[in-house]
Amino acid sequence: MRKNIVAGNWKMNTTLQEGVKLAEEVNEALKNVTPKCDVVICVPFTHLATINGVIDSAKLGLGAENCADHLSGAYTGEVSAPMVASTGATYVILGHSERRQYYGETSETLKTKVRLALDNKLTPIFCIGEVLEQRENGTHFDVVKAQIEEALFDLSAEDFGKLILAYEPVWAIGTGKTATDDQAEEMHAFIRGVIADKFGTEVADNTSILYGGSCKPSNAAALFAKPNVDGGLIGGASLDAASFMGIVNAF
Ligand code: 13P
């Protein structure tokens, strides 16, 4: 059966020292509890190796927020999947709406990144989600389906089964405007149906689909209670250990 997962996405926040302190706080908080979900933090590239040295990997997973669409070579400033893996990280967020929106990431690029991540034994947390205009004009289901089809339908069922998906309606990210639990459930059930049609019900049933967008301790329990919501990808609220743990403990 699929796992429940709460993953933090720190985005471009914290210096190395602040990040290590935050990771230590989350790690410490996890010592005393047995959460009903896997817990992961996805952190800036610069923090990965150091944070890997201060957390208990049996209780707290570590991931990057992106990786390059090339394996190695003359790509100044990029960080490859093997480089991420060499820090000890085992997850990588791919296709976040901020990457799509501000850095021009397309489904073609993402297809390559997913392949490179899987080849390097990184678990992609693959993000999909519509913008407000698409929600308002009723194309949100088509948009999300196309994002999945274009980047992920070339995978084998076995490889698809290694992914985590994150539905993040762009209008809910960092806006304080959360999708209602019914809106999240409706889309998550739709996504699971898209997966089932292509890869079969077993793969669909085993795929964790996280919700992201202004998720916080006060709304997490209601979201996570929905049958197709398998956890959260948490931005702002993951930058404070107590609020992140409040979401972890919502399961
Ligand atoms: P917020 O939780 O800050 O809305 O961000 C969500 C997100 O983008 C996680 O990837």
Helix extents (H) in 32-139: 48-52, 81-86, 97-102, 107-119, 132-136
With cut-offs at 50, 70 and 90, classify the pLDDT of residue 224: very high
pLDDT at position 177: 83
Measured from CB, residues less than 6 Å from any atom of ligand 1 are: 9, 96, 168, 173-174, 212-215, 233-237
Whole-number Å distance, alpha carbon 73 to ligand 1 midpoint, is: 32
- Beta-carbon contacts of 20 under 8 Å, excluding residues fewer than 6 positions away, are 47, 50, 51, 54
Query: Alpha-carbon distance 41 to 233, whole Å?
Result: 9
Ligand 1 atom nearest to 214, measured from its CA: 4
Q: Is 90 helix (H, G, I), strand (E, B) or coil?
A: coil
> Is the confidence at residue 176, as pLDDT, over 90?
no
pTM > 0.95: yes or no:
yes
- Percentage with pLDDT > 70 across the chain: 100
Residue type, 230: D
With cut-offs at 50, 70 and 90, classify the pLDDT of residue 33: very high
Q: For the segment 112-165, what is each residue's pLDDT rounded down to a tens digit?
A: 999 999 999 999 999 999 999 999 999 999 999 999 999 999 999 999 999 999
- Does the annotation mark 47 as catalytic? no
Two tokens, residue 235: 């931005």
Tell me if 190 sits within 8 A of 140, measured CB to CB: no
Ligand 1 atom nearest to 98, measured from its CA: 8
Whole-number Å distance, alpha carbon 74 to ligand 1 midpoint, is: 32
Q: Is 116 helix (H, G, I), strand (E, B) or coil?
A: helix
Mean pLDDT of 24-41: 96
pLDDT at position 35: 97
- Please count the residues of the chain: 251
Whole-number Å distance, alpha carbon 1 to ligand 1 midpoint, is: 26
Q: Output the CA torsion sign for 71, 209, 200, 153.
A: negative
Nearest to 208 by CA among 1, 35, 34: 1
Query: Alpha-carbon distance 159 to 162, whole Å?
Result: 5
Q: How far is CA 55 from the centre of its chain?
A: 19
Q: For the segment 103-127, what is each residue's pLDDT rounded down to a tens digit?
A: 999 999 999 999 999 999 999 999 9
> Is the confidence at residue 1, as pLDDT, over 90?
no
Mean pLDDT of 38-65: 98
Query: Alpha-carbon distance 237 to 216, whole Å?
Result: 6
> Is the confidence at residue 179, as pLDDT, over 90?
no
Mean pLDDT of 66-72: 98
- Does the annotation mark 140 as catalytic? no
Nearest residue CA, atom 5 of ligand 1? Answer: 235
Catalytic residue among 96, 98, 105, 188: 96
- DSSP summary character for residue 73: S
Mean confidence (pLDDT) of the chain: 97
pLDDT at position 38: 98
Q: Is 233 helix (H, G, I), strand (E, B) or coil?
A: strand
Catalytic residue among 65, 130, 168, 185: 168
